A = this chain, B = another copy of it.
Amino acid sequence: MLKLSKKAEYALMAAKFMAMKNSSGYSTAKEISESCMIPYQLVAKVLQNMVKSNLAISAKGTNGGFSLAKNPIDISVMDIIKSVESNYKLVDCLQPKSSLEDCSHLDCCKIRDPLIEIQRKIDKVFSETSLVQIL
């Protein structure tokens, strides 16, 4: 239905939160959870995903937390979405070497190429929107 997942929304919120807190300190998952009214466990997961994708860095223990790993201008909305959405794609056949396991229609499908082009354009929208544009 072309909807952004809650995870993606939460990731954007968290990223914005960290970007706003320009003081170089850490933001904790609890802090973000309460500020944005997001379930704690969920935002914690999302933040962990961002760390894995090298968008954020984390510090354990007392006074620990999360902070952005790069300058907000260098983080795109696409980066954030991809950090939490393992398979972000319009259709199942986008890999150049997609097989019938990806989609049983692959060998008779007559709309694949145009959809790949549309995907390219949508990717562009997300890639060209930087975190600073949502501050």
Contacts and interface: CB of A to CB of B under 8 A. Distances in A.
Interface of A: 1-5, 9, 12-13, 16, 36-37, 77, 81, 85, 87-92, 104-105, 108-111, 114-115, 118, 121-122, 125-126, 129, 133-134
Contacts of A16: 110-111
Contacts of A129: 114, 118
Copies in the complex: 2
Contacts of A92: 3
A16 B5 CA distance: 30
B36 A108 contact: yes
B111 A37 contact: no
A2 B90 contact: yes
